[in-house]
Amino acid sequence: MVIILGYKHSYPIGVLLFYCLAFGNTSSASANDTSIESATWRLEFDNDVFFNKDNKISSGWSLQKHSAVAGSWEALEDVPGFVRHWGKAIPTLTKEGLVYRVGLAVGQVIQTPDDLSRSDLIEDDVPYAGALTLQATWYAFNDDEFRGFEITAGMVGIPSLAEQTQKTVHKLTSSADPKGWDHQLNTEPVINFNYMLKKKILRRGNPASLSFDTAINGNAGLGNLFTQASAALEMRFGHNMPRGFVYVPDPIGLSMHYLAALKPADSTAPSFYASLVLRGSAFARNIFLDGNTFRDSHSIEKEPLVGMVIAGLHYEQANWGIHFNVMASSDDVDTNKHPTLEGRERLGSIDFEWRF
């Protein structure tokens, strides 16, 4: 696993939100009542080294802060007032019986072609590309349904610091020096809006012991990073599982960051469970394959319909958790037009959570 140290990118509103959430009043949970519903930091690493490869989506990371669960938007004590008001103003995110959370994240994603030794433009492979972003997420949920909205803002191109990040990590790990960053996507601001709905459709077993549940998930994204619509089936099986919904890690902007979990039936015991997600997506735009929005740049032909399988193992205590996922997709590029290019996307992800 490659661990990448983060860089901060200056966005006046985004940075203000991040500092307000990250360093505001977090006294809503004491050391004696810390639980999965408490304010939580999550550190996420995505990398294809799990599959012994270093191409296409090569690596990514995000640092996330999720507020403590509250019974209303107004009751989110560790969130600035103007952020609470935005959550209340978003249509469909307020409903009797739901609880509420706000998340903020900073993250980076890096894409490279297969042959890192070439300094010329590789026309029959994906472009060098990176994105550095901030995400703000508002979501409402219970053990039956989930509703969420996320705004992603950031930059692709040189300001993403993808070149510096990859070269530094490769130097530290004595890996091949990537030579083709002069041909990365041009500098461009990106903004994306994502909306997600989930609904539990099946439950079996004893919640305090072994149980199984299934949910359906619908997600739509609009922006110059990704424009897509997805539908998924999410299954969990395990011991003393937290109520709510499994978190599905994705490259930034493709989906959203959330922690839609409530205390398990036995809040004094740990939770151990496995997850399996089957997802189909229709893409109108993917900046990592389609290239820049406003300027000419290198691009390749994408497949508009992509299937993905995400399998995960999860272990959670009251004050911390660890999650490991592996993801494999069907071809997301047209291998008929690019016969030498690997069509599938494969990534591994590991998440660490700390609660307080």
Whether the Cβ atoms of residue 42 and residue 64 lie closer than 8 Å to each other: yes
Task: Residue 18: name the closest of 140, 131, 135, 132 by CA.
Answer: 135
Give rounded-to-5 percent helix, strand, coil for the chain: 15, 45, 40
Whether the Cβ atoms of residue 187 and residue 156 lie closer than 8 Å to each other: yes
Read off the pLDDT of residues 70-110 as tens digits, 9 standing for 90 and up.
999 999 988 888 888 999 999 999 999 999 999 999 999 99
Average pLDDT for 214-222:
97
pLDDT at 55: 59
Query: Is residue 6 assigned to a domain?
Result: no
- Determine how many CB atoms are found less than 10 A away from the CB of residue 232: 20
Domain housing 321 = 12-355
Residue 26: Cβ-neighbour burial (10 angstroms; 0-12, 13-18, 19+): middle
Query: Is residue 66 assigned to a domain?
Result: yes
Query: Is residue 1 assigned to a domain?
Result: no
Q: Which region among 16-30, 149-163, 255-269, 293-307 has the lowest average model confidence (pLDDT)?
A: 16-30
Whether the Cβ atoms of residue 89 and residue 83 lie closer than 8 Å to each other: no
CATH number reported for the structural domain that contains residue 182 in this entry: 2.40.128.140
The pTM of this model reads 0.88
Q: What is the count of structural domains for the chain?
A: 1
pLDDT at 181: 96
Query: Is residue 5 assigned to a domain?
Result: no
Read off the pLDDT of residues 179-208 as tens digits, 9 standing for 90 and up.
999 999 999 999 999 999 999 999 999 999
Query: Is residue 7 assigned to a domain?
Result: no
